[in-house]
Amino acid sequence: MPFKISYVFCTRNRLPYLKFTLGRLIGQLQADEEIIVVDGNSTDGTQAYLDQLFEAKKINQYVTEPDRNQAHGWNKALLMAKGTIVKKIIDDDVFDFRSIRKCADYMLAHPKVDVVISNDLSSRLDNPTEIVKNTRLSQYTNWATKQTSSFTFGDVHLLLRKSALALIGLYNTGYVMIDWEYSLRISYLQANIVYYTGYNALSVFQEQSVSGLKKNDEIAIQSKRAMFFYDYAGDDAEITLWSKIKIAIGKRIFSANAPSMDQKEIDNIKQIYERLYQAIEQINNAEEFDFITAAKINETKS
């Protein structure tokens, strides 16, 4: 039986977060779904943990080996995926798998759709009760009506059709802000993007990652290059502080040293994440959401 969804992870020295997020997904995995983990040669016990899960048939595929950078690791995971739909899972963010499955079902019912993106939520590990709702619907609308050639969106809430990789390609291994460049490329190439007004994910900001912020000059150069190449005029998401923080988190994921975390800190983080998972589920259950297509937007405006 072919897989409907491939959930792909890319991690390095993040065992406490990986155990929580992966464990939660395993607990509700369906028969037509698979889990793939690419580990960047961790030194914190991740390899042994993945061995146990694989032997117990809790995950379908995994590899443990050094990665050149984030994009390299994620590209391995994308290429390993056997599912019709691929969903990237970042181990320290929060996901609503029911919402994700709703988007996947929509894509399966509409085989010409390449990508589904959604609204998303964000919060801070040091202030998890404050949850911010984020949307890129106005930017999507401008793109759908040909007012702009491209627009940006995060990949934390993105679902893509595996066969669409032939059009949009893999992550660019020459970029630090990989999802920023990828979103510009996907939209500039006129992939068939559908916007879901619900919330597939909740991004979690961690204060300690700010100290890992580096390569600002390189990011600025890459930003200008992509803006020119993809005819991107820029908007409020142009390599923002939030994006830079997420870069820093990614760098910490692929750092050579495993972060030290005692059991009390791990237990506290588990409690926070449990509340965040409850929050995203409550928000998604509070109202009905729609799938918005470019054709629907243009039909309304005509």
Q: What is the CATH number of the domain that holds 267?
A: 3.90.550.10
Which residues are CB-contacts of 137 (< 8 A; sequence separation ≥ 6)? 119, 195, 197, 292
Apex 122 CA angle, 90 and 45, nearest 5: 30
Half-sphere exposure of 99 (CA within 13 A, CB side): 31
Sign of CA dihedral 3, 23, 18, 274: positive
Quote the domain boundaries for residue 287.
Answer: 5-301
Q: What integer pLDDT is reported at residue 245 of this predicted model?
A: 44
Q: What integer pLDDT is reported at residue 247 of this predicted model?
A: 45
- In one-letter notation, the amino acid at residue 51 is D
Structure tokens at 74: 């994620």
Task: Give the separation between CA 203 and CA 20, rounded to whole angstroms.
Answer: 15
Q: Average the pLDDT over each of 68-72, 225-229, 294-298 and give the range with the smallest value.
A: 225-229
Half-sphere exposure of 63 (CA within 13 A, CB side): 16
Neighbours of 263 (CB within 10 A): 8
User: Cα 45 to chain center, whole Å?
Assistant: 24
Task: Give the separation between CA 211 and CA 277, rounded to whole angstroms.
Answer: 27
- In one-letter notation, the amino acid at residue 166 is A
Diameter over CA atoms, the chain: 59
Flag whether pLDDT at 56 surpasses 70: yes
Q: What integer pLDDT is reported at residue 164 of this predicted model?
A: 98
Q: What integer pLDDT is reported at residue 249 of this predicted model?
A: 44
Task: Give the separation between CA 56 and CA 36, rounded to whole angstroms.
Answer: 14
Task: Give the separation between CA 45 and CA 258, rounded to whole angstroms.
Answer: 10
Band (pLDDT 50/70/90 cuts) for residue 8 is: very high
Q: What integer pLDDT is reported at residue 258 of this predicted model?
A: 53
Average confidence score pLDDT of the chain: 89
Under the phi-then-psi rule, with left for phi > 0, alpha for psi from -120 to 50, and beta for the rest, what region is 215? left
Q: What integer pLDDT is reported at residue 207 of this predicted model?
A: 54
Domain count within the chain:
1
Which whole number is the average pLDDT over 124-146? Answer: 94
- Find the helix or strand (DSSP H, E) in which 141 lies: helix 137-144
Which tops the pLDDT comparison, 126 or 28? Answer: 28
Helix (H, G, I), strand (E, B) or coil at 36: strand
User: Cα 83 to chain center, whole Å?
Assistant: 17
Query: Considering the chain, what percentage of its residues have pLDDT values greater than 90?
Result: 75
